[in-house]
Amino acid sequence: MKKLQIVSITLAALLLAGCGAAESAVPASESASEAASTVETAPAAESESETPAAEAALPDGVYTADFNTDSSMFHANESCDGKGTLTVADGQMTMHVSLQSKKIVNLYLGMAADAADHEADWLQPTTDTVTYSDGTSEEVYGFDIPVAAVDTDFQLAILGTKGTWYDHTVSVANAEPADETAAEAPADGSYTCAVTLEGGSGRATVESPATLTVADGAMTATIVWSSPNYDYMLIDGEKYLPINTEGNSTFEIPVAALDTALAVTADTVAMSTPHEIDYTLTFASATLAAAE
């Protein structure tokens, strides 16, 4: 009998121990599940703390900015004191830089190794007239360079007259609003002035510098397109027709102010049906020079 009681007590103790183990296993499982849940949801918490993409650093307008490069052979013309004209329109930034000569014939926003396969993205030169401190003038190449962010390095490859691409690191920095006094209409006369075209597909260009005529304080620019297929331009609701019948489309249009984006619409007949395309033209007062 005593043996039977001892066995019964032992079995009861084992059963109680088993129930306790089962009950303690549930919280352990839940704890593991909670830990896994915490690990799985951690990235979500991180994503919520991420800062949104930066907006354009500068409001729309025209600025003077430093054009910094990593080479003494590739830089802004000495007459420009290392600077260029930064135009911001609809949040998109474009830096116009007059170089030191005509020995750099194309630029590519990226690495030299990729340039040959992306010829459609090569930046085409403008012809700028620069005036040196001794009063002499010279024609050099300039470029309109898209800028994603100021005070940030980016890759810009250059193509020289010998047909070789080279890598360079550049930046646009210290942007300041263009001098308002410099943007006033110059005295009556005939001038040349660098002009920056923005908008459209990016393939169309205009000749730069453009001829700028001032009469009774009113400015008129002669705009020569890179195509003969523009049949009219619209500015403030007024239609302007070409002044030529042969060669690339040429217009005489009013310019309200220098260093300020001028909204224009140009109609092209190059496609199957005519299309009106919106552009902006900005005339840089820093490049203004008396016509010869």
Share of the chain above pLDDT 70, in %: 78
Total residue length of the chain: 292
- How high is the pLDDT of residue 33? 42
- The confidence band for 150, taking pLDDT boundaries of 50, 70 and 90, is very high
Residue 30: phi and psi, rounded to 5, are -65, -40
- How high is the pLDDT of residue 56? 52
In sequence order, the 6+-apart residues with CB closer than 8 A to the CB of 202 are: none
Share of the chain above pLDDT 90, in %: 58
231 is written with which tokens? Answer: 């049949």
- How high is the pLDDT of residue 135? 74
- Comparing CA positions, the residue from 194, 7, 238 lying closest to residue 95 is 194
pLDDT in tens, 161-197: 999 999 999 999 999 987 654 456 788 999 999 999 9
- How high is the pLDDT of residue 136? 82
pLDDT at 26 over 60: no
More confidently predicted of 204 and 48: 204
- 58 strand-pairing partners: none
- How high is the pLDDT of residue 179? 61
- How high is the pLDDT of residue 178? 78
What is the mean predicted confidence (pLDDT) over 133-139?
A: 82
The secondary structure of 35-72 as a DSSP string is: HHHHHHHHHHHHHHHSPPPPPPSS-SEEEEEEEEES-S
pLDDT in tens, 266-284: 999 988 889 999 999 999 9
- How high is the pLDDT of residue 196? 92
Q: Quick check: 169 and 155 in contact, CB under 8 A?
A: yes
pLDDT at 97 over 80: yes
CA distance 35 to 30: 9
What is the mean predicted confidence (pLDDT) over 80-92?
A: 90
Burial 162-199 (b: 16+ CB within 10 A, else e): eeebebbebbbeebeebeeeebebbeeeebbbbbbbbb
Environment class of residue 7 by beta-carbon count within 10 Å: exposed (0-12), middle (13-18) or buried (19+)? exposed
Mean residue pLDDT across the chain: 82
- The confidence band for 18, taking pLDDT boundaries of 50, 70 and 90, is very low
- How high is the pLDDT of residue 11? 42
- How high is the pLDDT of residue 31? 42
Q: Where are the beta strands (DSSP E) in the chain?
A: 61-69, 83-89, 92-98, 104-108, 126-131, 137-147, 154-155, 157-160, 165-166, 169-177, 189-193, 195-199, 210-215, 218-224, 230-235, 238-240, 250-255, 262-268, 275-283, 289-290
Whether pTM > 0.75 for this model: the answer is no
